Amino acid sequence: MSDTISKNISGFGEKSDSAGNEFLAFTLGKEEYGIDILKVQEIRGYEAVTRIANSPEFIKGVVNLRGIIVPIVDMRIKFQLGEPTYDQFTVVIILNISGRVVGMVVDSVSDVITLSPEQIKPAPEMGTTFDSDYLIGLGTLDERMLILVDIDKLMSSADMGLIEKLAA
């Protein structure tokens, strides 16, 4: 599986000339989500974290990533998607947001997809697992539908507090 991921995301930071946005597709529970591929630094298998006392439940702890202390957020807990299980498919997406490195635990990563503006629909104004301020929209590709998340807004939100507090 990791060979496939490496091939699909080997062009990080390179903006293609095609008119479309690239998203890393991942699953949380039964739903498929997407985040801007340019925010992704790397993808790693889940490993044990060092728990920090008095941190919110969704912040699993921190890991030392080549000398950088990285907070690890479990999105399944953050979005209240039931009790998370950690298996061989559980991965950590390492993000670089506003110069801050953050890890995000997800159930699995599938692929990188390119969506044209016509394939991205606005999010409906109804109850979702999280505030729709964090949504870019819904991406459609054949029979697939991805919930597109604005990871900058989500990680810098007041309840996450990861970016603002650390940048201040």
Q: What is the CATH number for 35?
A: 2.40.50.180
Per residue in 17-49, pLDDT (tens digit) is: 445 799 999 999 889 999 999 999 999 999 989
More confident position, 104 or 6: 104
Is the pLDDT at 111 greater than 70? The verdict is: yes
Is the pLDDT at 10 greater than 50? The verdict is: no
Is the pLDDT at 164 greater than 60? The verdict is: no
Q: Which residues of 57-76 are buried (b: 16+ CB within 10 A; e: fewer)?
A: ebbbbbbebeeeebbbbbbb
Is the pLDDT at 138 greater than 80? The verdict is: yes
More confident position, 93 or 130: 93
More confident position, 105 or 7: 105
The pLDDT of 47-75, averaged and rounded, is 93
Give, in order, the Cα–Cα distances in Å from 137 to each of 50, 91, 119, 156. 34, 24, 10, 18
Question: Would you say how long the chain is, in residues?
Answer: 168
Contacts 24+ apart (CB under 8 A), 140-144: 141/113, 141/115, 144/25, 144/32
The closest of 126, 130, 134, 65 to 101, measured between CA atoms, is 65
* pLDDT at residue 133, as a whole number: 77
Q: What is the mean pLDDT of the chain?
A: 81
Confidence of residue 12 (pLDDT cuts 50, 70, 90): very low
Per residue in 114-125, pLDDT (tens digit) is: 999 999 998 877
The Cα–Cα gap between 16 and 156 comes to: 27
Q: What is the DSSP letter of 126?
A: S
Half-sphere exposure of 11 (CA within 13 A, CB side): 10
The pLDDT of 44-70, averaged and rounded, is 93
- The domain in which residue 117 lies consists of 2-167
Is the pLDDT at 167 greater than 50? The verdict is: no
- How many domains, in total, are found in the chain? 1
* pLDDT at residue 39, as a whole number: 95
Is the pLDDT at 128 greater than 70? The verdict is: no
